[in-house]
Structure 1
Amino acid sequence: MARTPLHRWWRPILGTLAAVGGFLIVSLGLVMAAWTVATLARLPLVMSGDRMFVDPLLDLGFHLSVIALAIPVVYGTAWAIQRRPPGTLSSVLGRLRWNWLALCLLVAVAAVVLGQLAEAVTLLLTGMDPVYGWAGWETFLPPALVILVLVPFQAAAEEYMFRGWIIQAFGAYLRNPWPGILLGASAFAALHGYTDWGIAYVFGFGVLMGWLAILTGGLEAPIALHATNNVAAFGVVAASGDLDSALQQGELPWQSVVGTVVQFAVYGGAVVVIARRRAIRSLSR
């Protein structure tokens, strides 16, 4: 998709640098805007490490919004540097295929639920408590609204950057998609704070999303699972009332591998079968 008649060897390289630089600039702009508004409104700030607001809900919304800014940055980079329609980042049709995305969302919900159940059962069988808490509707509803509104954009932004841009940038040079898939998955894993089994999980997630993007000719399948998975993960935290830990990443128990395998197998297998039966186009014309 990036190898258009205007393609030159330097465009993907310059575009990558521009995308990274542009994201840093707009992120800094949002930080300054949020700081200004918070100061005028006398909202308590932390400004320490990756934490900005004392209120965990405001802090979560701020971080999700920052990541979502990658979407216009990558779109602008494709248009300005590669001189191609930004919609070609979405799929081989040059746009997001909404019907296909909706179908993938249904499959993603089933896969995430089955994965969570498999992990919970494995934890119970090995003598560990799955630790699903409930703090009440008053505590749950405000963050749930923020999560439902912002997480889909945050998940889509990561897919546009790591699967859309990186895979297509490499695709301008190489016929084989796997170097781009593996590089995108490595960058995706490196920018998360997981350790031990968590590293394997997030890297495997990146590989699966890259493979599905190539197989289905677009980002709809990756966005659907990424958004559903993140909504579920943040939702569980919001339900427990421990929103301070929503952005914390680290070690995952080995039992989570069982849930991961179930989720990946159900989603990947179902998407492949449905895409073939519906003849989802994977190549541009």
Structure 2
Amino acid sequence: MYIEQAYKGLHDWWRYVLGLLLIIIAVFLGQIPLTIAFFFKAWQNGDELTLLNEQNIMSLLEPNLNLFLMLLSFAAGLVGLFFVVKQVHEQSLVSVTTARPKMDWRRVWFAFLLWGIISTSFIVLDFYVTPENYVLNFNVVPFIILCVIAVVMIPLQTSFEEYLFRGYLMQGIGVVTKTKWIPLLTTSVVFGLLHIANPEIDQLGYVVMVYYIGTGLFLGIMTLMDDGMELALGFHAANNLFTALLVTADWTAFQTHSLFKDVSEPEVAGFMDVFMPVFVVFPIILFVFSKKYKWTNWQSKLIGPVQKPIQNDNQNV
């Protein structure tokens, strides 16, 4: 099973502490170009750094450059994570990804296309219901550049988050605590809390945390039930990619040269924005996946104990 894949490598608790520290360092190193660019642009404009708020900082750089440099830190984190898995844990990347003999790309693409179609449909529906909330933002050259950056870099960003939370930490916390529900809940809550610095929180309120934590729980359930991250990788990539290409707003984390711009006044998120995805849409998607991939033993896979495989008892792992 998925969490037990960690037993195929070196799984001492201190290795996960060391590994997490190295991954954090890699992310910070990846943020250096963005930090330098911010300071240089602020100096060039004669801005007082102490007077800049998050909104002003985000608008300092050209959107495509800002997006690329922002996503660069996630790419660096992914490289650092892969290094940690191979060198600190001596574990294969396949075993962090899935309990199957090899990664199932058909699962990745199915989840990607399914959520891409659903999320795009929601945006199109909202556009037709409230067209006054959108303005055409299309500009050929910037949009083409955005497409290149988004297609290359956003999957790296989402893959880093999935490999960190649903992969590395899910397995690490699981083998240390010998449980499945603790890593499921822990990674979901931490995943949500790391989005607390997003500008959406300031504009929409802390109720949005229900969406972020609920999404983490949804991806975690998906991973444990399917014995692999493939579905989560595809879903997460589609969610961020289609959002970046289709709609932007001045108060979101991704400010891009997208097709449309949402010019509506941000309000406290209601049922349609927060609760419907978490409590209606996500359960339906889990039901679809469960039927397609014949998921069984929900209780055992989600809250059962983590047991070291017998065949590994005498191995030096």
TM interval, shorter chain, is: 0.7 to 0.9
Tell me the equivalent position of 1:7. 11
Query: How big is the shift at 1:276?
Result: 1.4
1:106 corresponding residue in structure 2:
113
> What is the aligned counterpart of 2:241 among 219, 231, 236?
231
Which of 255, 260, 263 is matched with 2:272 structurally? 255
* Cα distance between partner residues in 2 of 1:175 and 1:250: 43
Map 1:1-285 onto structure 2 (within 5 A): 1-4=5-8, 6-24=10-28, 26-31=29-34, 51=57, 54-93=61-100, 95-116=102-123, 120=126, 131-138=133-140, 140-192=143-195, 193=198, 194=201, 195-238=205-248, 245-247=252-254, 252-256=269-273, 257-276=275-294
TM-score, L = length of structure 2: 0.71
CA gap 1:45/1:61 in 2 versus in 1, 3 angstroms = farther
CA–CA distance in structure 1, aligned partners of residues 152 and 272 of structure 2: 30
Do the aligned partners of residues 235 and 266 (structure 1) sit closer, same or farther apart at CA in structure 2, a change above 3 Å counting? farther
Gaps of 5+ in 1: none
Cα RMSD (Å): 3.6
The alignment partner of 2:24 has SS state of helix
Deviation digits for residues 4-25 of structure 1, max 9, x if unmatched? 364334222322223223332x
| 2-structure distance, mates of 1:191, 1:250 | 22
CA–CA distance in 1 between the matches of 2:46 and 2:149? 19
- Report if the CA contact (8 A) 1:155-1:226 is conserved: yes
Task: From the superposition, tell whether residues 214 and 148 of structure 1 become closer, same or farther in structure 2 (CA, over 3 Å).
Answer: same
- How has the CA–CA distance of structure 1 residues 5 and 159 changed in structure 2, closer, same or farther, with 3 Å as cutoff? closer
Aligned mates of 1:191, 1:66 — CA distance in 2: 15
CA contact (8 A) 1:57 1:243 kept: no
Deviations 1:17-61 (A, max 9, x none): 23223332x32454478689x89xxx9898866647521221011
- 8 Å CA contact retained: 1:115, 1:263: no
Partner SS for 2:134:
coil
1:56-107 residue CA offsets vs partner (Å, 9 max, x unmatched): 2210111122222221111111112112123321111364321221222222
Q: Distance in 2 between matches of 1:90 and 1:16?
A: 17
Q: Say if 2:71 and 2:157, in contact at 8 Å, map to a contact too.
A: yes
**Structure number, greater radius of gyration:** 2
Q: Is the 8 A contact 1:70 1:158 kept in 2?
A: no
Uncovered stretches (5+) of structure 2, i.e. residues with no partner: 256-265, 296-300, 312-317
Contact 1:152 1:227 in 2 (8 A): yes
Q: Supply the distance in 2 between the matched residues of 1:247 and 1:151 (Cα, whole angstroms).
A: 11
Tell me, yes or no, if the aligned pair for 2:165 and 2:191 is still in contact at 8 Å. yes
Native 8 Å contact 1:197 1:254 kept in 2: no
Partners of 1:45 and 1:181 lie apart in 2 by: 47
Contact 1:108 1:228 in 2 (8 A): yes
TM-score normalized by the length of structure 1: 0.78
Distance 1:90 1:44, change over 3 A: farther
**Counterpart-to-counterpart distance in 1, 2:101 and 2:177:** 21
CA contact (8 A) 2:30 2:77 kept: no
SS at match of 1:201: helix
Q: Which moved more, 1:161-170 or 1:3-12?
A: 3-12
Amino acid at match of 1:275: Y
CA distance in 2, matches of 1:149, 1:10: 34
Q: Is the 1:185–1:207 Cα contact (8 Å) retained in structure 2? A: yes
In the alignment, the residues of structure 2 paired with residue 113 and residue 266 of structure 1 have an alpha-carbon distance, to the nearest angstrom, of 17
The residue identity in structure 2 corresponding to 1:88 is S
Report % sequence identity.
19
Secondary structure at the aligned position of 1:3 is classed as: helix
